[in-house]
A and B are shown apart, each in its own frame.
Chain A
Amino acid sequence: MQEDIEQRISAIYHAHYQDVYYFLLHFTGNQNDAEDLTQEVFTRVLKGLAGFDGRVTLKTWLFSIAKHAAIDQHRKQKVKSFFSENWLMKLATKEGSPENVLTKRENVRELKQAIQKLAPHYRLVLILRCIEEYSIKETAEILGVSESKVKVNTHRALKLVKEMMDDTEEGGFLNEWARG
């Protein structure tokens, strides 16, 4: 197994780097941080590859490493602002009138702001379930919680996001970190 470690890590990297990167981008809201953390994740994967025993799927293992990397970073870093200009300024342009584009951009911006304001456990479950569309079982495995917990937290996270977006529309964006 050790002999083909170069091929293995390269294959794993090519198959999953985008998924890991996007997951971390949604979590951090910052492209640079997402790239740094992606590097951190795959370095950890390389180190742990020999010990990976297949008790969970490779993807679940990768994402639990990514989750830990994201949480570690969150724990050690109090973000300077609630949203990243880097991420928000790079929103893809959609077809439509300038007004429509602007409205859509504004909605997406608000949505991203709301995600960034969620407490990490809600943010993680929302990203995995609602954005990356993992199953309840997969999400539970990645996060190391029960499936019922995943359901409950997804529901609560959605509710919080909705509340925050409503607050924004009413002009009173709640400036509260770590809801829930």
Chain B
Amino acid sequence: MSGLEDEKLTVQLRGLRRQDPPPRQEFVTYLDQTLVKQARQMKQRKTAGRILSMAGGAAATVVLALLVAVPDGKEAPEGTSSVRTEQRAENAPSLAKEKDIPEQRNIPLVAEQRKISQVKEQPKQKERSVITQSQSLPKSQTLPKTASNTPTLSVEQYMKQKLGDKSTQYQLASNHLEKDTAVFQRVINGIPFADSVVKVHLESDGTPAGMVIEENFDAEADLSLFPNPEKAISKEEAVQRLTASLKQEEVATFAGYINALNGEVLDRRFQSVAATGSYSLIPIQAQGKLLMANSDEEIATLIQKEFGVRIGGDNRPLSTEEHESYMEYTWKMTDATYLTARFAKKSGQLLAYRMKTNTESHTSPELSQAEAAQIGAKKLAYYLPSQITQLAMEGAVVEDSAIRLDFIAITQGARAESHKYKVWVDSTSRQVVGLEGNFSEIGESSTESNKGNSPSLELHYVWPELNGKRTPAPYLVYQVKQ
């Protein structure tokens, strides 16, 4: 492409910028109102959660006090219970404050609400969940609708209204995680198809507020492409294949697949684990070393000392950028090499650093991915909180002359989604030339223990894309329930 043609094309592309019609005004207004409404509900839920936990704490205290005071059911001596109640009531706000947890935790999952209402009678409350039975959904997978005077649609009715008869092909996903969204998966041959999903957004009272359909149109074209589930290997055999391919401690957190037709264990990118060895847990001894600095001078000294780099001149950064929560400093080291570091404004803690050479040349790595992972994990371990005992490698890519490794922390046998890291290892010098991630302590809520000797597997259809192209047919796979 000549320079002139290149420029012409660039001008044409720039011309597309605002050539198209803007979003419909009614949509703009609707979304504005919806967002404000959702924000208000979030706020109300948070407030309600606080009040409930305070009131709940106080009420529980009264009951407890009565039980303690009257163990055999006799009336308590006058004054006893009131004194105890008053004492506890004084404490209640502080107890409630300790329980000032994120709002989501105050609101049970839709699935949890369902379970509660089926098992026992609902306590009286303003927004009571009512179970509706539906032919399309199993009894254990129905969703709430409101019991208010205004008639509102249940999720099933809403799905029926929007999708017609096709709505019967969808089933509430067993592992949907979003609190205010009901996620339905299409079911083909009795097996959930992960690539065809309907998400119904719910108001706080369970009323459907809108839906997003994420569909794979290939499924419309030819259902015969979907492998026959009768040909699937048994769960027991799949577990055997999995445990034979991975280390014992890797099984519970395995995020890949087992091909249900041939038993092949595949990583998240559908590459054979046996062939690539790409799924691995790296045990570490985290040392929790804090890197703190409070001035340009201190930062430069710290980085030189910690990462073995040499900053020339008087340690003054080439540029300093102030952001809302952090400061970013850049030093010029050689003609084309720059070092950038980010420090938290409040604490002065290092958040990230990266040394880069601004050239367009791409050298083929002289370092294997496995070696890079070991080097990166070892360096990272110095700065990680001690609760982290392992790192799971989620991916590796070549970036310029370095290999970038993506890790996630494993603690108590579970993935800590809040603690992900990027580490860059120079493929020639084998030095760590960049680190980024969350170096703070891990809260209890960050992980859910999923230790277990025998993994629980689920059968799914997935339709992978390999190298940007969808495979000719979907895969029937087992996945570990996380």
By a beta-carbon cutoff of 8 Å, the part of chain A in contact with chain B is: 2-3, 5-6, 8-10, 13-14, 17-18, 21-22, 25-26, 31, 34-36, 38-40, 42-43, 46, 53-55, 57, 72-73, 75-80, 87, 90-92, 107-108, 111-112, 119-120, 126, 130-133, 145-149, 151-152, 158-159, 161-162, 165, 177-178, 180
Cα distance A69–B32 in the bound complex, in angstroms: 19
Known: A2-B46, A38-B23, A131-B17. A10 touches B36 (CB 8 A): yes
Whether the Cβ atoms of B196 and A111 lie closer than 8 Å is no
Whether the Cβ atoms of B35 and A72 lie closer than 8 Å is no
B22: chain A residues within 8 A (beta carbon): 18, 21
B98 in the interface, Cβ–Cβ < 8 Å?
A: no
Partner of A46, one of B38, B324, B325: B38
B195: chain A residues within 8 A (beta carbon): 75-76
The interface residues of chain B, by DSSP majority, are classed as mixed
A87: chain B residues within 8 A (beta carbon): 20
Whether the Cβ atoms of A25 and B20 lie closer than 8 Å is yes
Known: A42-B31, A146-B400. A126 touches B13 (CB 8 A): yes
Count of A-B contacts judged by CB separation below 8 Å: 149
A21: chain B residues within 8 A (beta carbon): 22-23
Q: Across chains A and B, which 9 residue pairs bring their CB atoms closest together, nearest first? A: A54-B324, A130-B13, A54-B325, A76-B214, A178-B468, A6-B39, A5-B39, A146-B399, A21-B23
B214: chain A residues within 8 A (beta carbon): 72-73, 76-77
Chain B 331-366 residues near chain A, CB threshold 8 A: 342, 351, 356, 358-360, 362
Cα distance A165–B400 in the bound complex, in angstroms: 31
A-B contact pairs, 13 of them (CB 8 A): A2-B46, A17-B23, A35-B27, A43-B201, A54-B324, A78-B217, A92-B21, A111-B13, A145-B399, A148-B359, A162-B6, A165-B9, A177-B469
Give the one of A31, A46, A146, A178 with max B CB within 10 A: A146
By a beta-carbon cutoff of 8 Å, the part of chain B in contact with chain A is: 1, 5-6, 9-10, 12-24, 27-28, 31-32, 34-36, 38-40, 42-43, 46, 195-197, 201, 210, 212, 214-218, 323-326, 342, 351, 356, 358-360, 362, 399-400, 465, 468-470
Q: What's the minimum C-beta distance from B253 to chain A, rounded to whole angstroms?
A: 23
Whether the Cβ atoms of B23 and A34 lie closer than 8 Å is yes
Cα distance A64–B360 in the bound complex, in angstroms: 24
B28: chain A residues within 8 A (beta carbon): 17
Whether the Cβ atoms of B6 and A26 lie closer than 8 Å is no
Cα distance A25–B46 in the bound complex, in angstroms: 35
A-B contact sample (20 more), CB < 8 A, given A43-B38, A131-B14? A17-B28, A18-B22, A31-B21, A34-B23, A35-B27, A38-B23, A43-B35, A46-B35, A55-B342, A57-B323, A75-B195, A76-B216, A78-B470, A108-B12, A112-B16, A130-B10, A146-B356, A158-B1, A158-B10, A162-B1
Cα distance A120–B469 in the bound complex, in angstroms: 11
Cα distance A152–B28 in the bound complex, in angstroms: 36
Q: What's the minimum C-beta distance from A68 to chain B, rounded to whole angstroms?
A: 13
A53: chain B residues within 8 A (beta carbon): 325
Cα distance A57–B328 in the bound complex, in angstroms: 12
Whether the Cβ atoms of A76 and B358 lie closer than 8 Å is no
Whether the Cβ atoms of B35 and A42 lie closer than 8 Å is yes
A40: chain B residues within 8 A (beta carbon): 212
Whether the Cβ atoms of A108 and B212 lie closer than 8 Å is no
Cα distance A34–B27 in the bound complex, in angstroms: 11
